[in-house]
Amino acid sequence: MDGAWVYLVTGGCGFVGERIVELLSQQDYIKEVRVFDSVAREEVEKYSTGTTRVTMTRGDIREPGAVLAAMQGVHVVLHTAALVDYRGSVPFWELRAVNVGGTENVLRACCALSIPYLLYTSSIAAVGPNTSREPLVRGDEDTAYSGEVELPYGKTKAMAEKIVLEANGKKLSSGGTLRTCIIRANTVYGEKAAFLQELYLLTRASKGALNYLEPEHTERNHTYVGNVAWMHVLAARSLQLEPELLAGQVYYCYDDTPSRKGFLVRLQLLSSADPSVRLGSHIPYWKMWLMIQLHRVIRAMLFPFWRPQPFLSVPLLNTIVTSFSFETDKAARHFGYKPLFTWEESRLRTAQWLKAAAGSPAPPQLHEKMN
């Protein structure tokens, strides 16, 4: 059936989703890539090739009917749609409605329409850090880690992971079996990464000084968006070809980004775009904690006349200062993953985008609705 497969990417207009769509459109075994997103950006259809057509459908992942309609005639679903919020600017009920309720809608549609393969895009935030700020240093997919997840966003991703794994092996309406697996992204950088654009603007406002919050010993993985997308493409194809190996599995994203120290990765990315950027000062935890509390008091005093967006939250601050890293080759062992882009290519591509984005009048997004 090669050349006749229909793939659906929910959240295909998001940061990671769009890159998945781009790479899927280059695979000659796929006839059509459908994009389902609450933001209808028809420009994703530009990825259509001579053999693969890309089509765009606008819809809300929270509406079962819209999800069911979009998934008619699909063979493989890559579910990347999520409400991404690290700063506490979105109510928990809304995060849950999109990230958990939306995932339930997709799984129900898979069963009703006998779609046998679902790949879910999760996050390292679904694992931790926990509220006790216990570090995890260079663990892997099998490393035990417990406790309540710190970030509200991470809590909803953990809930969604649970129902995706529980759905693996469910019977489809046709009598077949649903096969699911999960990819956990970490800190993803690259073109269109809103946090990098915002950080660059803040650094320029500080006369080129890149200040940072995490202690120098803190570790956290970073992965280029093109390699995250490529891992999705390979995993989705292998889920079809070797379902007994991939079904029910979880995979961390990784590539050859050279450092687990986040401030050093950010320094290399920003200084590649602007050589005047230099490493600034470490901001102590207590100082940032006090600034967050002061900002909360000001917001409360001025409500409802002025409602500035939170620039940081205590859960996010705790996450930033806690080591949470992994070391794995599971994706390479299970489905032959190798990074599509080297560190040098990833760095240069990101730097070129940053140079262009720095002159953009559009402010960076604090969270993305569907990604």
Q: What letters, b where the CB count within 10 A reaches 16 and e where it falls short, cover 143-157?
A: eeeeeebbbbbbbbb
Beta carbons within 10 angstroms of residue 215's beta carbon: 15
- The count of other CB atoms within 10 Å of the CB of residue 246 is 25
Residue 317: CB atoms within 10 A of its CB come to 18
Within 10 A of 249 (CB to CB), how many other CB atoms are there?
19
Contacts of 43 (CB under 8 A, 6+ apart): none
Cα 325 to Cα 327: distance, rounded to the nearest angstrom: 7
In eight-state DSSP terms, residue 362 is S
- Cis peptide leading into 310, omega within 30 of 0? no
CA distance 158 to 125: 8
Residues 309, 306: Cα–Cα separation, whole Å = 10
User: Among all residues, which ones are annotated catalytic?
Assistant: 153
Residue 310, classified by CB atoms within 10 Å of its CB into exposed (0-12), middle (13-18) or buried (19+), is middle
Phi, psi of 231 (to 5 degrees): -60, -40
CA–CA dist 62, 299 (Å, integer): 30
Handedness of CA 276, 217, 187, 90 (dihedral sign): negative
Q: How big, in percent rounded to 5, are the helix, strand and coil portions of the chain?
A: 40, 20, 40
DSSP β-bridge partners for residue 324: 136, 220
Are 18 and 39 in contact, with CB atoms under 8 Å apart? no
